[in-house]
């Protein structure tokens, strides 16, 4: 685990306590296969009453964590920025390596024989990694909306959904967003604009809802009174709001997977999945016997030397 020191820092006893608690939380999540954003770590502190819920606390935690990582006291892999990433083309050491990768990545359209077409939409790009796990587990497309969706992307989504609906499928968008004036309104906005573009999609907002606020008790924030939708929100829910990031990633995973499985014909899925795995085994055999296969192809005259 890379706890690498690049600077020497003397920490106060209070900062040492924050670092120890940060490691406790990060290591617990790492054992479940999750890394955290700084904001998710902050909400874990707030929910445990280790920090008050305000911007000053968030900035203090970020400063301590930053210095602790540079001092080699927090694992660099445990925290990540999911909004800034390097992109590059995939490259391979050999033909055998790419065949091996293809075998691992081989998937068929297992939803083609299902009654439903399903997508998962999440308000925040920072939660894309959390959403991707249950979505990819069940071969479901997912979309980090980054707030309100642009008109262009909403039209493309409607055309995509209508194509599935013309095939006789029912379409579903599983939506997750903050429980605040804009976050609540986004579910309404998605439904209304997709209907405007003639998609008969069903929108199911599975989080964050008030029953989950009551069940999981995430730390509240003041409702954003500058939001044009604040008055209606406050009239219904009061003057507090809650962020989706505050929910445990495993909880979000379970919510998404449960909703997907509600719309899945499991017997059909298992049958189609078995056929896919049989095809995958052929690719795996090609990878494991690449030397012999390559020599056979060369000796057959199918390729020029």
Q: pLDDT per position in the chain (305 positions), as tens? A: 689 999 999 999 999 999 999 999 999 999 988 889 999 999 999 988 899 999 999 999 999 999 999 999 999 999 988 777 788 888 989 888 898 899 999 999 999 999 999 999 999 988 998 999 999 999 999 999 999 999 999 999 999 999 999 999 999 999 999 999 999 999 999 999 999 999 999 999 999 999 999 999 999 988 877 788 999 999 999 999 999 998 999 999 999 999 999 999 999 999 999 999 999 999 999 989 988 988 898 888 887 65
Per residue in 249-260, pLDDT (tens digit) is: 999 999 999 999
Question: What pLDDT was estimated at residue 1?
Answer: 62
For the stretch 4-20, what's the b/e string if a residue is b when 16 or more beta carbons lie within 10 angstroms of its beta carbon?
eeeeeeeeeeebeebbe
Evaluated on CA atoms 188, 190, 193, 194, the torsion sign reads negative
Question: What pLDDT was estimated at residue 305?
Answer: 59
Per residue in 8-41, pLDDT (tens digit) is: 999 999 999 999 999 999 999 999 888 899 999 9
Pick from 178, 245, 252: nearest CA to 39: 245
């Amino acid at each position: 685990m890379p706890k690498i020191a690049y600077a020497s820092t003397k920490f106060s006893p209070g900062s040492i306590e924050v670092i120890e608690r940060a490691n406790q939380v990060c290591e617990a999540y790492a054992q479940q296969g999750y890394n955290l954003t700084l904001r998710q770590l902050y909400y874990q502190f707030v929910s445990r009453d280790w920090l008050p819920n305000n911007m000053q606390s968030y900035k203090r935690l970020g400063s301590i964590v930053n210095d602790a990582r540079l001092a080699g006291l927090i694992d660099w892999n445990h925290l990540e920025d999911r909004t800034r990433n390097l992109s590059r083309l995939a490259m391979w050491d050999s033909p055998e390596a790419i065949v091996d990768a293809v075998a691992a990545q081989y998937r068929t359209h297992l939803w083609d024989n299902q009654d439903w077409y399903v997508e998962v939409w999440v308000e925040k790009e920072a939660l894309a990694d959390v959403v991707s796990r249950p979505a990819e587990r069940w071969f479901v497309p997912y979309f980090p909306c980054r707030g309100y969706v642009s008109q262009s992307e909403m039209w493309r989504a409607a055309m995509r959904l209508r194509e599935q609906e013309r095939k006789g499928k029912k379409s579903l968008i599983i939506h997750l967003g903050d429980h605040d004036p804009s976050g609540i309104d986004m579910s309404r906005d998605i439904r209304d604009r997709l209907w405007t573009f003639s998609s008969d999609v069903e929108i199911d907002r599975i989080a964050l809802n008030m029953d989950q606020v009551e069940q999981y008790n995430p730390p509240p924030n003041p409702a954003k009174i500058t939001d044009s939708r604040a008055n209606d929100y406050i009239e219904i829910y009061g003057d507090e709001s809650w962020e989706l990031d505050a929910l445990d990633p495993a909880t979000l995973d379970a919510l998404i997977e449960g909703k997907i499985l509600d719309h899945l014909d499991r017997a059909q899925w298992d049958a189609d999945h078995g056929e896919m795995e049989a095809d995958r085994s052929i690719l795996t055999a090609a990878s494991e016997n690449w030397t012999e296969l390559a020599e056979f192809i060369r000796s057959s005259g199918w390729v020029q030397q």
